[in-house]
Amino acid sequence: MIKILKEKAEIVDFITKNEQRGGGDNSEIEKSVREILEDVKVNGDEAVSKYTKKWDCENPQYYRVPEEIINEAYEKADIDLINALKRSKENIEAFHVKQRREGYTVEQDDGIVLKQIIRPLDRVGIYVPGGTAPLISTVLMCAVPAKIAGVGEIVMVTPPQKDGTPNPEVLAAAKLCGVNQVFLCGGAQAIAALAYGTREIPGVSKIVGPGSAYVATAKKMLYGKIDIDMIAGPSEVLIIADENANPRYIAADLLSQAEHDVLASAVLITKSETLAEAVKDEIGKQLDMLQRKEIASESLRNYSGIIIEKSKEEQIKWANLIAPEHLEIMTQNPLEYENEVVNYGSLFLGEYSPEPLGDYFAGPNHVLPTNGTARFSSPLSVDDFIKKSSSILYTKEALKKAADSIILVAEREGLDAHANSIKVRCEN
């Protein structure tokens, strides 16, 4: 069951342990992933199929999912689900379209023209996890900003179900969002196929989307060959609540993260010991109703806690130190915290803004930095699907005016050829 932490030393120990979630000795994972990457690089689709049969299912129905099967999945999908996904897609579009940006031009004397040019990436890959929780919402969160950015082609990879078939609801979401191709493969082998390209799977410029430790390790190892969104760790939520907060709501929100993964972290910070005990009791009641009770129980036992902290300033300090993926403020005046907490992936203000609202519907992206990386990184956005280039145009007269400065710096660096490139253009 979840622990109540009161002493500073035990709070520090708890935070330190959480920082190391899934980050111990990964040498075996790295060794395995390295072998998979090399195998796929050399043997392509044959290697991908081998690993799919080994880890996902013996007889996948498809490798590349035919377009008619994707269309059929959409047409046969539950109409209520499709309507819910459409509403969610509209909200995601409305939020992300504001992120779209244009390049700019700077014109100076003597005919100098400088530009920043923004272009969409040509082709991106989306990884959608399967397993016990196929993340339909991840399709929307990754594909919608890519489309807004103007990405030329979106290739999705997702593991087959145990019976070898594609998850029809994931296919329906792909159709709704305009995904161009879908392949039934997962794990490090799918990441390798997207990075290197195979006979069947086209190589991409960037891979986005969450996944297992093997997926995260493959993305990390292939960064440089391709770009990635982030190295995502286990999910997490931190809630700051006062004595007026509803313990039932808090317990429900803590459990909504704990059910993700045995390594997930769910943390409450409050000054009220009465609230802490009430939340602990409520967790016990709600836990018994969950299908994923065993997963949530392990998360609560190992990586979750209730921190008793009387000082608002110290509460904020702990929150900024932890830098959670999701941060909920359940206080009487939640807006008082908005400008003081600065390290988080996404902020949820008030008791009617629970974290699942962000996962599925509100509009801001749910692909978020985890494990403290919110101190320096950002949620997935339209910016992840563009590249910025610069353009320089100088006239002869403009170059002559700049020549002495350029030559001086180049010669001080010992780069005579650089200096000479300017000199030969400025000779009488």
* Dist CA 131 CA 411 (whole Å): 60
How does 13-49 read in b/e, with b if 16+ C-beta sit within 10 Å? ebbeebeebbeeeeeebbeebeebbebbbeebbebbb
Q: At what angle do helices 168-177 and 136-149 cross, to 10 degrees?
A: 20
Q: Is 340 a catalytic residue?
A: no
Report how far residue 181's alpha carbon sits from residue 59's, in angstroms, rounded to the nearest whole number.
Answer: 20
Residue type, 169: E
CB contact at 8 A, 234 and 260: yes
Which of 236, 259, 309, 325 is the catalytic position?
Answer: 325
Asked if residue 129 lies in contact with residue 186, where contact means CB atoms within 8 angstroms, the answer is: yes
367, 381 Cβ separation under 8 angstroms: no
The reply to whether 326 belongs to the active site is yes
Q: Which two tokens stand for residue 156?
A: 């999705």
Catalytic residue among 326, 351, 355, 366: 326
CA 365 distance to own-chain centroid: 8
CA-angle at 218, arms to 214 and 221, nearest 5°: 140
Which residues lie below 8 Å from residue 232, measured CB to CB, with a gap of 6+? 210, 211, 216, 367, 369, 370
Amino acid at 128: V
d(CA 279, CA 254): 10
Given CA atoms 41, 143, 170, 123 in this order, what sign does their dihedral have?
negative
**For residue 404, which of 425, 427, 422 has the smallest C-alpha distance?**
422
In DSSP notation, 42-105 reads HHTHHHHHHHHHHHT-SS-S-SBPPHHHHHHHHHHS-HHHHHHHHHHHHHHHHHHGGG----EE
Residues 6+ apart with CB under 8 A from 249: 330, 351, 354
Q: What share of the chain is helix, strand, coil (3-state, %, to 5)?
A: 50, 15, 35
Active-site annotation, residues = 325-326
